[in-house]
Amino acid sequence: MGKVQRLKIPFMRKGQIPLVFLNTGHPPIGGIVLAADIGGTKTNLALFKISDGHLELLREQSFETKKYDLCIDLFNEFQVESDHKMDAICLGVAGPVIAGVVQGTNFPWKIDSKAISKALNVKSVFVINDLEANAFGLTTLKDDDFETLIAGKSISGNAAIVSPGTGLGEAGLFWDGHQYRPFASEGGHCSFSPHHSLDVEIYNSIFQKYGDVSWERLLSGQGIVDIHEFLRAYRSNPMPIWLKERFANEDPAALITKTALDGRDPVCSETLTIFLRFLAIEASQMALKLKATGGIYIGGGIVPKIIKGIDKDVFTTNFVQTGRMATLLRMMSVKVILNEKTPLFGAAMYGAMGIGADADS
């Protein structure tokens, strides 16, 4: 179950990334919040206590999402009511949330805020997109929680998050002149656009396999595996025996990127190069669509693990290659979120801000 260090997060204060707060007229002075970051691979649960202007982490636990048939089964194993009576629950979920209900994109659960409210007897239950939770979590971070890929300039304006992981999450942060207002997006499911002849070959390969070619098909863990598989055939370069043996027992995407970082196989290295080029292009497209002069934040579970394999000059070149908008893009900063708990912190912040409100309607 895991006792944890007494981590404290400042609550209801303007962080280096100022965000709008709910219930600003009547902020809670105490309470217990259950926060969840629910993804296609793993789910993180944590209990927080509001105390002395901080969110204090009481305990947390990580679960393999697909081992559970229902969301409530996971809550039962976490024993959510064993220690404290909860005042609010907020679930950040990988999928499109409509009126507090979401069907997971890369896992089989259907999650309904009102059903959870009834089952756990908690009035204030919120279900939000995981990237929206990620956005709210940005205000809890410090300078050393980021790695800068492109410095850009300090210009007020909208911001965006692009997060490759089990899937590809994307969200925006609207700048209202004083603070950011996060909003969810399903932009990761928009169609991929080839940029040159090799990209066309990749497009055809992915289309033959899935019948569609979204950005998520490429900028995800499975995308790394599929690009690698394509290149093996396209380059007529079979997988080395030592690598094939490890594929059976390890996460293939992680193995491919680690092999690339170690410089042990040219196809793995090319796979990582293509993945990072695609990431720069999609981050650029998101930046233009939102006019994100406030910056682009790259989250998710993949990029922080391959940070040492990113050539910042090459990334910048791929980011700004958009013709007439190159000057605008050079003004925008691009930073990698290194703290993997950002979505969990964001869900906790959102839940705490909503104490006293009814379940999502």
Domain that holds residue 270: 142-337
User: Which distant-in-sequence residues (6+ apart) come within 8 Å of 322 by Cβ?
Assistant: 284, 285, 288, 329
> What three-state secondary structure class fits 162?
strand
pLDDT tens-digit readout, 106-124: 788 899 999 999 998 999 9
Matching residue, tokens 């942060």 = 173
| The residue type at 324 | R
Examine the domain organization and report whether 171 and 101 are in the same domain.
no
pLDDT tens-digit readout, 174-222: 999 988 999 999 999 999 999 999 999 999 999 999 999 999 999 999 9
Average of per-residue pLDDT across 94-100? 92
Average of per-residue pLDDT across 5-28? 63
Per cent of the chain over pLDDT 90 is 73
Question: Is residue 361, in this structure, part of any structural domain at all?
Answer: no
**Average model confidence (pLDDT) for the chain?**
90
Examine the domain organization and report whether 327 and 180 are in the same domain.
yes
Average of per-residue pLDDT across 48-76? 88
Helix (H) or strand (E) holding 221: helix 221-234
Examine the domain organization and report whether 156 and 177 are in the same domain.
yes
Examine the domain organization and report whether 184 and 116 are in the same domain.
no
Average of per-residue pLDDT across 260-284? 98
Check residue 354 and give its pLDDT.
86
pLDDT tens-digit readout, 111-167: 999 999 999 899 999 999 999 999 999 988 999 999 999 999 989 999 999 999 999
Closest CA to 128 of 215, 190, 45, 35: 35
Contacts 24+ apart (CB under 8 A), 309-315: 309/257, 309/260, 309/261, 309/272, 309/276, 310/149, 310/276, 312/149, 312/150, 314/276, 314/277, 315/149, 315/150, 315/276, 315/279, 315/280
Specify the CATH number for the domain of residue 16.
3.30.420.40
Could you give the number of structural domains in the chain? Answer: 2
Q: Per DSSP, what are the bridge partners of residue 48?
A: 33, 57
DSSP conformation class of 41: S
Examine the domain organization and report whether 166 and 115 are in the same domain.
no
Examine the domain organization and report whether 60 and 92 are in the same domain.
yes
Contact 37, 347 (CB under 8 A): yes
Per cent of the chain over pLDDT 70 is 92
Specify the CATH number for the domain of residue 188.
3.40.367.20
Closest CA to 271 of 255, 256, 285, 288: 256
Examine the domain organization and report whether 134 and 152 are in the same domain.
no
Task: Name the pTM for this structure.
Answer: 0.92
Check residue 6 and give its pLDDT.
54
